[in-house]
Amino acid sequence: MPIKKIIQDTETEAGKIDYWVNYLTELGEIYLPKVAAATLTLVVGWWLISRINYWFKKILVNREVEISLIPFLCSLVNALLKVLLLVTVASMVGIATTSFVAVLGAASLAVGLALQGSLSNFAGGVIILLFKPFKVGDLIESDGILGVVQSITVLNTILATPADNTAILPNGQVANNKVLNYTKENNRRVDLTIGIGYDEDVDKAKAVLLEAMRKVPKVLESPAPFVGIIGFGDSSVDLAVRPYAKSGEYWDVYFAANEAIKKALDDSNIEIPYPHQVEIRK
């Protein structure tokens, strides 16, 4: 409406009333449909978010995700969806959200850069707890460290090593590196390498070692132990001795097998070569 016309119409009381009635009517025609649509979107969206959060929690429980992680993941999803809904509703009523989104993105980037290491470990912890490549009580090896998993937190995995030490591994490192889980399968192969002299009878040595493995307590009959030539050293023929054990009895079999091998070879007069020093006299 032109400025002069507004001034003329508002010089009288009736003109003022007509002006404000027309002005409010125009605003109503413009904004009431937007407000109604935005309100409907807000109500329906809020209800949908609650249902999504309920089903998301149910999925996590069914997948047996770590109980301490479920509330955090549900709260995170709930907050992200509600922020997205509020930004959508604000844009529907004509509020400019570009600046708000830009500021939010810049703040998120700054926080992400400041907490880059912690966020990497957090993401790794979420992946480990969700997909469960290992669990508490498993014997694993990661980044050259062997140990039994004592606990899995959001940021770290804690191992008890065979040397009775505690190893704390960042989850980002564990998630991105190779992990060997020795407990995942019921059985575990014990890898031993034994050298015998070149003058010894290989077939006899193999028979002696196989018999010794069969007598070791806790060595499995199936898969059966295996003995075969694995290589040739400077002073020995190297034999691979491969008995199998239950995963939880690995170390018992490992030490008992080594002891049984030494005794069996000694009893059979089969030489185990060792370095000799020869004195040369002039």
Of 17-26, 82-91, 204-213, 253-262, where does mean pLDDT reach its minimum?
17-26
Pairing relation of β-strands 156-160 and 139-142?
unpaired
CA distance 158 to 141: 12
The pair of three-digit structure tokens given for residue 198, joined into one six-digit string: 């070149």
In this predicted structure, what is the pLDDT of residue 4?
47
Collect all residues with Cβ–Cβ distance below 8 Å to 54 and sequence separation of at least 6. Answer: none
Is the sign of the CA dihedral 10, 12, 13, 18 positive or negative? Answer: negative
- Token pair listed for 127: 């992946």
Q: Are 93 and 34 in contact (CB under 8 A)?
A: yes
Q: 261 burial class (0-12, 13-18, 19+ CB within 10 angstroms)? A: buried
- Kindly report the pTM of this predicted structure: 0.52
Backbone angles phi, psi at 148, to 5 degrees: -90, 130
What are the extents of the domains in the chain?
Answer: 3-114, 133-181, 187-267
Q: Residue 281, Cα to own-chain centre: how many angstroms?
A: 64
pLDDT band at 99 (very low <50, low <70, confident <90, very high): low
CATH numeric code, 3-114: 1.10.287.1260
Query: Taking Cα atoms as reference points, which of 221, 213, 258, 246 lies closest to residue 139?
Result: 246
**Architecture of the domain spanning 187-267:** 2-Layer Sandwich (3.30)
Is it the case that residue 213 has pLDDT exceeding 90? Answer: yes
Q: Please check whether the two domains, 133-181 and 187-267, share a CATH topology.
A: no
Mean pLDDT of the 97-119 span: 61
Tell me the mean pLDDT in the region 109-127.
66
Q: Which fold has domain 133-181?
A: SH3 type barrels. (2.30.30)
* Alpha carbons 262 and 41: distance in angstroms, whole number: 79
